[in-house]
């Protein structure tokens, strides 16, 4: 098992963030989880996503673990490798929203689509990703969360309402 730490600003130069803001660089550790047989991402610092349209902040605290994009390997050529793309930032926010269920599933999926657009992901790719989460998100992720897993996730992902987003 190799563990790699990365500190980076995942916002591409071509992004045109208007509905979203991101505060702080992302410092994460990538690791292989033998139980789930997935690559996982652990946050080592706090990152704040501001969702202006929804008038809230989503604060991801150190210790939050997600899988980035639950995209099956066979579909990477159709969408993207979930770990080496500008889509990763959208996948991380979407994972945080899904596991905490602060929003409805439909809202989480729309937020992902809107965020990918502002990150300047092509219409074709972002809509394939959006259709993928619409088709498989419920069975693959949303329905697997329990009151306990949601409460645990909410210790690492906080939602704060703000007036002047």
The residue ranges of every structural domain in the chain are 15-161
Specify whether the CB–CB gap between 91 and 28 falls below 8 A.
no
Residue 7: pLDDT over 60? no
Specify whether the CB–CB gap between 8 and 24 falls below 8 A.
no
Query: For position 58, what pLDDT does the model report?
Result: 97
Q: Look over the chain and give the mean of its residue pLDDT values, rounded to a whole number.
A: 83
pLDDT in tens, 52-73: 999 999 999 999 998 877 665 5
Residue 102: pLDDT over 80? yes
pTM of the model: 0.84
Beta strands in the chain, from DSSP E residues, in sequence order? 4-8, 20-23, 26-33, 38-43, 47-51, 56-60, 65-66, 157-161
For 74, residues 6+ apart whose C-beta sits below 8 A from its C-beta are none
Residue 75: pLDDT over 60? no
Q: Rounded CA gap, 116 and 130, in Å?
A: 9
pLDDT in tens, 21-37: 888 888 888 888 888 77
Q: How confident is residue 137, by pLDDT bands cut at 50, 70 and 90? A: low
């Amino acid at each position: 098992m190799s563990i790699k730490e990365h500190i980076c600003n995942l916002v591409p130069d071509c992004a045109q963030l208007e509905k979203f803001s991101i505060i702080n660089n992302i410092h994460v550790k990538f690791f292989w989880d033998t139980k789930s047989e997935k690559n996982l991402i652990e946050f080592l610092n706090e990152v704040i996503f501001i969702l202006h349209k929804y008038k809230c902040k989503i604060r991801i605290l150190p210790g939050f673990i997600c899988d980035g994009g639950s995209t099956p390997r066979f579909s990477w050529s159709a969408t993207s490798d979930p770990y080496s793309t500008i889509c990763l930032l959208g996948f991380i926010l979407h994972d945080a929203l899904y596991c905490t269920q602060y929003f409805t599933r439909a809202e989480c999926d729309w937020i992902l689509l809107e965020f990918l657009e502002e990150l300047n992901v092509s219409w074709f790719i972002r809509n394939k990703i959006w259709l993928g989460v619409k088709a498989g998100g419920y069975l693959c992720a949303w329905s697997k969360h329990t009151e306990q897993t949601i409460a645990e996730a909410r210790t690492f992902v906080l939602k704060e309402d703000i007036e002047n987003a």
